[in-house]
Structure 1
Amino acid sequence: MKHYGLTILLAISSLGSMQAALASRCNTPIEPVQQVLANSLGYNLSNTRQGISAINSGNVSQLELAYVHVAPDPDATERRGSPVLTRQVIYTPTRSSIVALDRATGCEYWSYTVKVGSSLSGGDGFRAMSYVPASGNKPPLVVAGDSEGHVHVMNAQTGQLLWQKFVGTNPAYHRITATPQFYQGKLLVGMASREIFTALSKLVLACCESHGLLVAIDAYTGKIDWTYHTTAPAQRQWDLLQGPNGVPVWSTPAIDEASHTVYIGTGQNYSAPTTNNSDAIIALDTRNGKVKWTFQATASDSYPVACAAPFPLDGPCNPLHSNDFDFGASPIIHTTSSGQKVILAGSKNGMVYSLDASNGKLNWQKRVGTGANLGGIHWGMATDQQRLYVAVSDVMINKMNALSLDQINMPFSDTANTATYPGTAQPGGMSLAPNAKPGIYALDIDHGNLLWEQHPSHIASDGNSYPSAYSAAVAVTNDVVFAGSLDGVMKAFRSSDGKELWSYNTAKPVNGINGISGHGGTIDQVGAYIGGNNLIINSGYDQFGGANTLQAGPGNAMYVFRLAGTR
């Protein structure tokens, strides 16, 4: 049986290679020194998600589709992970590949693919990517984190692998979702844990042992400089569970170069005892990982997926303290009109916080969403010098529906699915939270006052109208705000008053410029990616189920738009 499975995997790998070969090859090399237009999920070290572009409210209606790139992976059902945009190249992750495309034409410079039998063959692929500019005699680098906790570093000109390394401490659970940030020769890499899901496989007797990390790594050698642990090592508790644990770091760190400070957001604990570091913003010294301050937004939060399981599989769950109110949105560094440096942070509890960057003291807080386990504020906010722009989802889901029993190694039939358990909502267990307020909001940064809000809706396949939920990170460029919704629609709003200026539905069949047919779907995680004359949209996400009245479901397409008449 093992030989048969390997044959199938090799056949799939060969098919992927043949499909990738259909992409036209670029006939010019990648220049070693380029202007970086957008880098990492947050675009820059401050995570402002403010794009450097020619797109504004006067010409946004002139955006036209230049081409679509379809993931070459035959089994890709998502297009997740932020690209990197330079003046010449779009570096984009797929499930098992990093591809370098010419920004104007879509031809392919190179592709780095993880082979069958590697760390990714059983995982869900590349989740995060960033770019390191050339320095002296050192080449430009592309850095990618995968779902098995490995960092891959490639020469950005050639795609040659320079080093690859597992940088976590627990190979069974650690994964990278946060975009690595480069600072003074180091990569700062946040580490999350899949034990929120796999706790079920242990039938509560050993849950839970892993926790989040921030790891500082030499970008050129892979040597680990220091590691910050979000909790102490787990110990067996009186009730046979282990703790403390959880507190993952799955949002992109923000770095203040002047004060040598890195700011991270954390998630919840996975079981008791809870800690002061969960659902928090933490400031660390970039030179040694020492804590400067901690701000905790939601205390006593412990949430594993087992909270949605029937007895006795719900053992790690404490219903009184299971909110799942992470800081998944990347913290933003901003200077106010009075000159105060602040950290702007959005939580899945629906609140926005402004913190003094030097000590973590709360300046103001503003509720914009009701809060739920997919936000509230899920993947990210954006800021310019005038306003803070916030995407609100207010979507709740039974996260058990993201799993099949064989995925979590439970001792039942490997063909069963958790969606058949009693109490599981259908379809997909997804719904709006009670009193939900999904939409796009603009706040005054100095005081947190609401300046405008928009609440778009969409017509679902059943012919009815539903509120559009905004889980993906929002982005801003000049006087235009871009926001993509779970139903697969990207919209542009005028930043001063929220007036809608442009809209495009990505949830449809497409033909890729690389010769592969594909499909768009849910817009989540990255949202809009903006730079130069381009708008880039990842379309397709199935982490939490297929199509329903709120989301478009799986897809494998990356849309590249540009202003008409430009290249």
Structure 2
Amino acid sequence: MTNGVMKQQSAHLLLEEKTRIANYLSGTDKGEAENYEIKRCNQPIKFATTQNEQNTVKSWGFDGRNTRKVSSELSGLSVGNVSGLKLKWAFAYPGATRARSQPVIHDGVIYVGSQHGKVYAIDLDTGCTFWSYQAQAEVRSAISIVKSANSPDEGLIIYFGDFNGAVYALNGLTGEEIWKTHLNDHKDTIITGSPKFYDEVLYVPMSSNEWASAADPSYECCSFRGGIAAFHAKDGSLKWKSYSIQENPKDTGKRNPLDIPILAPSGVPIWNSPTIDAKRQLLYVGTGESYTSPAAPTSDAVLAFSLTDGKMVWHRQLLAGDAWNMSCFIGSNYNCPEEDGPDMDIGASVILIEDEKKGEIIVVGQKNGIVHGLSPDNFGKIIWQTKIGVGGYAGGVHWGMAAEGSKIFAPNADTNFIGRFKDEDRRPGLYAIDAFSGEKIWYKKAIDQCKLKDKPACDPGLSAAVSATDGLVFAGGFDGILKAYNANNGNILWQYNTNQSFSSISGHHAYGGSIEADGPVLYKGHVLVNSGYLYGSRMAGNVLLNFSID
């Protein structure tokens, strides 16, 4: 209500009133801010003299192709030792009720954002904080780590965006600001997908919360367009900006019941981190639904942009006629488009698979429960489509799949938010799929382990992105349970319920809840995961957990 999707609707409320509403909706006092000092490190950051890629998990998708897979050498994890994982420490984000900025790591230093806009540099071993930086708004995406000649000191720059559309570059060693700029676009523009660095350019996806603004009957809906902004990494100057809808929204001549103009085309946000195709010099993203009728041909689609100038080279729509906004969800006829959904956008980053014998393929997971295989050489021609679930507002596939070789690991949520589909049709769990044929290799159902008192916020669905290393897949659920699966057969080798209270390394109260968006991070015998998401009827939490086989 302060910086989120209900900002416009709650603008007239006092902070105390917003807090009481948050407490009532969550059934707890977790809406109250806590002000306390985090544990500070006694020494500054000191990186190893020799730095290489084997010391870094550098971005949301772990690499330019967004495979979300790290080598066993980097992860330090295997089928043989994963059962030995134990909780090492818990870090509490002060005053938070959700934790969804995926950590990244360089040489034993964790970089992570937070709900209240603080970015932290945390010691992997002890959990103490080297430094923190206050951004203007929530940092909900992952940070991108870059070792660059443009950086002062030891050559490390971190890049990220915030919920207000600001983009930042910081000195990774000290936390000092190098530059700050802004998307300078629509007033409701936000950054959800993680910026991606490639060849001295930072590519920033543009999403928005205008879908929620549309719930206001007096709101002129809608005028936002998704897109990608490319910034020169050295100084933050804009290289190019390209939109997911090529034409500007205009008055359709239609009016809502309050005689407010309806604008179109609009929407088509980009919620995911871009995928880099260095060979073809293209950038791939998946898009969301339109906000007004008629639905744009680039909605619920994969778009290919030129890395050089931002020109849209091709697009492949995977679901036509999807126009939706919050007005539909609350049952209002004021700004709900004629299509009324079904809101089955592509929230997960697409994955570019490369195989020496089989070639290349783009794999896309969608909220409607369908996984698609597209040709990168034939304008995104659909090669195969595989149905793994019923789908819903949180998926189907919501935030991210992983790949090991030519095998795709696809999480399925199938969460029944509003009785949209029958329980017997739901198939929450994890699938392994052949990337080149779409054939299902195995499926492991997510069993309902929720306590009655935690329902319906607690749910077995897998919405968060999954992560892989050689022989293993890690996935967290709405129920707060983090699991390690055998990548060959889906057997569960280790699990831990994060939906509980913890004593944080600062000595303050920490608590877990739903694991909703960001995936586990695997690094040198450690597994890092955020727990807690008081949003979208999920379980609140404020904790970053570090598990170790030490």
Is 1:440 the counterpart of 2:430? The answer is yes
Q: Give 1:295 shift.
A: 0.9
Query: In the alignment, which residue of structure 1 is the partner of 2:165?
Result: 149
**Aligned ranges 1:340-351 → 2 under 5 Å:** 340-351=359-370
What whole-Å deviation, never above 9, does each CA across 1:238-270 have from its counterpart, x for those lacking one?
A: 213001000000111100122211101100001
> Counterparts of 1:396 and 1:278 in 2: how far apart (Å)?
24
Query: In the alignment, which residue of structure 2 is the partner of 1:373?
Result: 393
> Counterparts of 1:432 and 1:461 in 2: how far apart (Å)?
21
Report sequence identity in percent. Answer: 30
Q: Rate the CA distance shift 1:26–1:447 in 2: closer, same or farther, 3 A.
A: same
Query: In the alignment, which residue of structure 1 is the partner of 2:443?
Result: 453
Secondary structure, in 3 states, of the residue corresponding to 2:46? coil
> Counterparts of 1:471 and 1:143 in 2: how far apart (Å)?
25
Is 1:66 the counterpart of 2:88? The answer is yes
Query: In the alignment, which residue of structure 2 is the partner of 1:230?
Result: 244
> Counterparts of 2:422 and 2:519 in 1: how far apart (Å)?
20
Secondary structure, in 3 states, of the residue corresponding to 2:253? coil
> Counterparts of 1:397 and 1:130 in 2: how far apart (Å)?
33
Query: In the alignment, which residue of structure 2 is the partner of 1:296?
Result: 317
Is 1:190 the counterpart of 2:180? The answer is no
> Counterparts of 1:238 and 1:213 in 2: how far apart (Å)?
26
What whole-Å deviation, never above 9, does each CA across 1:277-329 have from its counterpart, x for those lacking one?
A: 1000011110111122111100011010110224444x3332x4511111111
Q: Does structure 1 conserve the Cα–Cα contact (< 8 Å) formed by 2:216 and 2:327?
A: no
Q: Give 1:386 shift.
A: 3.9
Q: Give 1:531 shift.
A: 1.9
Secondary structure, in 3 states, of the residue corresponding to 1:238? strand
> Counterparts of 2:184 and 2:395 in 1: how far apart (Å)?
27
> Counterparts of 2:98 and 2:332 in 1: how far apart (Å)?
32
Is 1:23 the counterpart of 2:40? The answer is yes
Q: Does structure 2 conserve the Cα–Cα contact (< 8 Å) formed by 1:474 and 1:483?
A: yes
Q: Rate the CA distance shift 1:464–1:533 in 2: closer, same or farther, 3 A.
A: closer
**Which of 87, 92, 106 is matched with 2:127 structurally?**
106
Letter in structure 1 aligned against 2:376? A
Query: In the alignment, which residue of structure 2 is the partner of 1:362?
Result: 382
Query: In the alignment, which residue of structure 2 is the partner of 1:208?
Result: 222
Q: Rate the CA distance shift 1:464–1:186 in 2: closer, same or farther, 3 A.
A: closer
Secondary structure, in 3 states, of the residue corresponding to 1:459? coil
Q: Rate the CA distance shift 1:293–1:211 in 2: closer, same or farther, 3 A.
A: same
Q: How many residues align?
A: 507
Q: Does structure 2 conserve the Cα–Cα contact (< 8 Å) formed by 1:84 and 1:92?
A: yes
Letter in structure 2 aligned against 1:59? N
Secondary structure, in 3 states, of the residue corresponding to 1:486? coil
Secondary structure, in 3 states, of the residue corresponding to 1:56? coil
> Counterparts of 2:290 and 2:389 in 1: how far apart (Å)?
22
**Which of 39, 48, 51 is matched with 2:70 structurally?**
51
Q: Give 1:104 shift.
A: 1.7
Q: Does structure 1 conserve the Cα–Cα contact (< 8 Å) formed by 2:163 and 2:190?
A: yes
Q: Give 1:433 shift.
A: 6.5
Q: Does structure 1 conserve the Cα–Cα contact (< 8 Å) formed by 2:459 and 2:479?
A: no
- TM-score calculated relative to the size of structure 2: 0.87
Is 1:158 the counterpart of 2:174? The answer is yes
Query: In the alignment, which residue of structure 2 is the partner of 1:39?
Result: 58
Q: Does structure 1 conserve the Cα–Cα contact (< 8 Å) formed by 2:119 and 2:139?
A: no
> Counterparts of 2:424 and 2:322 in 1: how far apart (Å)?
20
Q: Give 1:127 shift.
A: 3.2
Q: Does structure 2 conserve the Cα–Cα contact (< 8 Å) formed by 1:128 and 1:176?
A: no
Secondary structure, in 3 states, of the residue corresponding to 1:554? coil
> Counterparts of 1:496 and 1:347 in 2: how far apart (Å)?
24
What whole-Å deviation, never above 9, does each CA across 1:22-70 have from its counterpart, x for those lacking one?
A: 4343355345845443222211111000023110111100112111111
Is 1:280 the counterpart of 2:301? The answer is yes
Q: Does structure 2 conserve the Cα–Cα contact (< 8 Å) formed by 1:336 and 1:446?
A: no
**Aligned ranges 1:404-553 → 2 under 5 Å:** 435-462=425-452, 468-546=460-538, 553=539
What whole-Å deviation, never above 9, does each CA across 1:205-256 have from its counterpart, x for those lacking one?
A: x100111010000112110100011112110112130010000001111001
Secondary structure, in 3 states, of the residue corresponding to 1:458? coil
> Counterparts of 1:78 and 1:111 in 2: how far apart (Å)?
18
Q: Give 1:397 shift.
A: 3.1
Q: Rate the CA distance shift 1:458–1:436 in 2: closer, same or farther, 3 A.
A: closer
> Counterparts of 1:189 and 1:452 in 2: how far apart (Å)?
35
Letter in structure 2 aligned against 1:265? G
Q: Does structure 1 conserve the Cα–Cα contact (< 8 Å) formed by 2:361 and 2:436?
A: no
Q: Does structure 1 conserve the Cα–Cα contact (< 8 Å) formed by 2:151 and 2:157?
A: no
Q: Give 1:17 shift.
A: 6.6
> Counterparts of 1:445 and 1:310 in 2: how far apart (Å)?
39
> Counterparts of 2:132 and 2:44 in 1: how far apart (Å)?
15
Q: Rate the CA distance shift 1:137–1:484 in 2: closer, same or farther, 3 A.
A: closer
Query: In the alignment, which residue of structure 1 is the partner of 2:543?
Result: 557
> Counterparts of 1:63 and 1:455 in 2: how far apart (Å)?
23
Q: Rate the CA distance shift 1:324–1:396 in 2: closer, same or farther, 3 A.
A: farther
Query: In the alignment, which residue of structure 2 is the partner of 1:383?
Result: 403
Query: In the alignment, which residue of structure 2 is the partner of 1:408?
Result: none
> Counterparts of 1:274 and 1:464 in 2: how far apart (Å)?
37
Query: In the alignment, which residue of structure 2 is the partner of 1:308?
Result: 329
Q: Does structure 2 conserve the Cα–Cα contact (< 8 Å) formed by 1:346 and 1:381?
A: yes
Letter in structure 2 aligned against 1:563? I
Structure 1: give runs of 5+ residues left out of the alignment: 10-14, 399-424, 547-552
Secondary structure, in 3 states, of the residue corresponding to 2:206? strand
Structure 2: give runs of 5+ residues left out of the alignment: 1-11, 20-32, 256-261
Q: Rate the CA distance shift 1:166–1:278 in 2: closer, same or farther, 3 A.
A: same
Letter in structure 2 aligned against 1:211? R
**Aligned ranges 1:131-142 → 2 under 5 Å:** 131-135=145-149, 139-142=155-158
User: Once superposed, what is the RMSD of the aligned Cα atoms?
Assistant: 2.5
Q: Give 1:535 shift.
A: 0.6
Q: Does structure 2 conserve the Cα–Cα contact (< 8 Å) formed by 1:39 and 1:83?
A: no
Q: Rate the CA distance shift 1:197–1:479 in 2: closer, same or farther, 3 A.
A: same
Secondary structure, in 3 states, of the residue corresponding to 2:37? helix
Q: Rate the CA distance shift 1:450–1:28 in 2: closer, same or farther, 3 A.
A: closer
Secondary structure, in 3 states, of the residue corresponding to 1:307? helix
